[in-house]
């Protein structure tokens, strides 16, 4: 039901502009590859593990191919050609030999190229099949243990030690958390490799590794069966290894992944071209794995003013929607982000928050929106902080948000303790249960403050999108349009890992993801792309 009476023609115009703005970026992603995309292909081929210094074998193998023949054709042809002609039984043996300089790679031609391509396609199909089976496992568990009603309560654990995270996550689930996010160790997004194995030392978070994913998913499966409701697991597919982490998430049945179109660019100074190319592949994997992405628009409001920059949040959400759908994500997988970050000292701050939250809810009615709590204006006054979090929870219920990340009263002081998390869960439980279906009764006065503010933000969003279409998205990012941070297209980390594809480029994983509908395929009946996409 519409409550803001938004002009449907304005809404359609906003989406058309988003499609125009995104088109050059999508074309760039379709005609380029990156070192991480190529490494992700090898991970789906079954290559894992690392050398004695912790550098993964996928890095060794991709680096060796790049040094000898370049990556313009991808790694598939030279790697599987070498497997056919060298005395190695598998990718692991080949990678170890390549690290020692004992393998000579080439770009095969003719029948040799056909044979290598067939082996690579077979390996890619097996890897995608493993992702499909993990998705089917989730569907089975949801039927068996039940799916909690929305809004889902989302809580973060971040000790740095996976074996400490596990009991905290299980305790949080028992106290009402529906989604557990294991925040990554500070700076992992800047590593151009994925650490290996279970980790016990991280700073302000725990390293994202395949083994850590496996351990936490298993622990949450146990507590899901105990509680009779499925507890979702979230991590972060961002940074220089975005495609690989997305792949590992699909292989280990994570349910949500932080995956924003511009977060890494703006807040981690990762090259824009690298980010957008990596992002398309990662979102294709997420679509196939049935993973819900969470976007990071809330972060813009930690550096920009939440009132003045409200329209930049909407523009980013529209772009994230376009990029996501082009990669195969459905509305139900678009956990678009926004936040309760207006200065509480501003008159009518709560009404402004309601206007912004309701606008996003109506623009994306079928998306599982993720609503973030106040952080920028949290202080050492824990009583005021607890009250502000209650207002945030109330806004989330009144505007029908899907995922509510709990706010904690001590966020302005230190990394919250378990006792703080318990109080935060109590806060959101009370508001959710006391309000019930209050969203049904919240109907802003026609042409009143809330309605007028929402329309103003939408109008400003359309104006900004028109400027982006004229100047290009890369220029807008370079000019500091989002988050008041300037990031030039040829600056930042990771640009040296971007490669333009040759005409004969081969990546059988991308071929599968481009040609099949991810949601029909996950049910065991692959169909041509576009036949059932939203």
Round to whole Å and give the CA distance between 361 and 449. 17
With tokens 């146990």, the residue in question is: 222
**The two three-digit tokens of residue 139, written as one number:** 């569907």
Round to whole Å and give the CA distance between 372 and 407. 8
Q: How far apart are the first and last CA of the chain?
A: 20
Q: Choose, from 81, 255, 260, 298, the residue flagged as catalytic.
A: 298
Answer yes or no: 493 catalytic: no
Q: Are 57 and 522 in contact (CB under 8 A)?
A: no
Q: Are 253 and 200 in contact (CB under 8 A)?
A: no
Q: Are 234 and 180 in contact (CB under 8 A)?
A: yes
Q: Helices 382-398 and 418-435, interaxial angle, to 10°? A: 40
For residue 180, the cross-strand partners are 155, 233
Grouping H, G, I as helix, E, B as strand and the rest as coil, residue 329 is coil
**Residue 114 CB neighbours (<10 A):** 10
Cis peptide bond N-terminal to 151, omega within 30: yes
Q: Choose, from 88, 207, 230, 263, the residue flagged as catalytic.
A: 263
Q: What is the four-CA torsion angle of 122, 126, 127, 130, rounded to 10 degrees? A: 170
**Residue 523 CB neighbours (<10 A):** 14
Round to whole Å and give the CA distance between 389 and 525. 46
With tokens 């390293």, the residue in question is: 207
**The two three-digit tokens of residue 92, written as one number:** 């692991």
**The two three-digit tokens of residue 97, written as one number:** 């030999």
C-alpha count within 13 angstroms, C-beta hemisphere, residue 33: 26
Q: Are 390 and 409 in contact (CB under 8 A)?
A: no
Q: How far is CA 430 from CA 81, 149, 463, in A?
A: 61, 16, 40
Q: Are strands 370-372 and 337-339 parallel, antiparallel or unpaired?
A: parallel
Q: Choose, from 370, 371, 420, 505, the residue flagged as catalytic.
A: 370
Answer yes or no: 298 catalytic: yes
* Radius of gyration over every alpha carbon of the chain, rounded to an integer in angstroms: 23
Cis peptide bond N-terminal to 209, omega within 30: no
**Residue 478 CB neighbours (<10 A):** 18
Answer yes or no: 147 catalytic: no
Catalytic residues: 263, 298, 370
């Amino acid at each position: 039901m519409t409550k803001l009476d938004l002009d449907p023609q304005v809404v359609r115009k906003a989406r058309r502009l988003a499609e125009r703005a995104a088109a050059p970026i999508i074309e760039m992603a379709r005609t380029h590859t990156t070192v991480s995309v190529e490494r992700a292909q090898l991970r789906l081929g079954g290559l894992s593990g690392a050398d004695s210094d912790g550098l993964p074998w996928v890095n060794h193998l991709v680096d060796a191919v790049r040094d000898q023949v370049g990556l313009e054709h991808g790694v598939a042809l030279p790697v599987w050609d070498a497997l056919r002609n060298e005395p190695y039984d598998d990718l692991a043996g080949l990678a170890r030999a390549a690290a020692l300089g004992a393998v000579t790679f080439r770009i095969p031609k003719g029948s040799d190229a056909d044979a290598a391509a067939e082996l690579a396609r077979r390996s890619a199909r097996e890897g995608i099949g493993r992702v499909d089976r993990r998705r089917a496992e989730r569907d089975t568990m949801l039927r068996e243990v039940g799916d909690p009603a929305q809004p889902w309560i989302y809580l973060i654990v971040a000790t740095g030690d996976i074996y400490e995270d596990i009991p905290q996550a299980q305790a949080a689930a028992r106290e009402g958390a529906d989604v557990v996010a294991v925040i990554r160790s500070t700076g992992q997004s800047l590593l151009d490799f994925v650490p290996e194995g279970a980790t016990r030392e991280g700073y302000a978070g725990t390293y994202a590794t395949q083994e850590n994913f496996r351990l936490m998913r298993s622990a949450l499966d146990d507590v899901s069966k105990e509680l009779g409701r499925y507890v979702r697991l979230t991590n972060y597919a961002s940074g220089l290894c975005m495609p690989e982490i997305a792949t590992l998430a699909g292989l280990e049945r994570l349910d949500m992944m932080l995956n924003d179109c511009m977060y890494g660019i703006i807040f981690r100074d990762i090259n824009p071209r690298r980010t957008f190319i990596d992002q398309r592949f990662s979102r294709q994997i997420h679509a196939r794995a049935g993973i819900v992405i969470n976007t990071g628009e809330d972060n813009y409001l930690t550096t920009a003013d939440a009132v003045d920059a409200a329209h930049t949040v909407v523009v980013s959400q529209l772009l994230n929607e376009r990029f996501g759908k082009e990669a195969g994500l459905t509305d139900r997988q678009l956990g678009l982000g926004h936040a309760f970050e207006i200065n509480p000292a501003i008159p009518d701050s709560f009404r402004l928050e309601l206007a912004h939250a309701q606008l996003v809810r109506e623009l994306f009615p079928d998306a599982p929106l993720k609503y973030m709590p106040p952080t920028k204006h949290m202080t050492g006054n824990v009583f005021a902080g607890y009250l502000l979090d209650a207002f945030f929870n109330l806004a989330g219920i009144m505007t029908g948000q899907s995922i509510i990340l709990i706010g904690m009263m001590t966020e302005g002081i230190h990394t919250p303790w378990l006792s703080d998390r318990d109080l935060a869960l109590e806060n959101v439980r009370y508001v959710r249960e006391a309000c019930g279906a209050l969203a049904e009764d919240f109907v802003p006065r026609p042409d009143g403050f809330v309605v007028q503010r929402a329309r103003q933000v939408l109008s400003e969003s359309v104006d900004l999108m028109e400027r982006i279409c004229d100047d290009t998205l890369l220029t807008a990012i370079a000019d500091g349009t989002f988050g008041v941070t300037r990031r030039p297209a040829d600056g930042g980390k990771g640009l040296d890992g971007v490669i333009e594809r040759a005409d004969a480029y081969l990546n059988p994983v991308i071929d599968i993801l481009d040609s099949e509908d991810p949601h029909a395929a996950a049910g065991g009946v692959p169909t041509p792309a576009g036949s059932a996409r939203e």
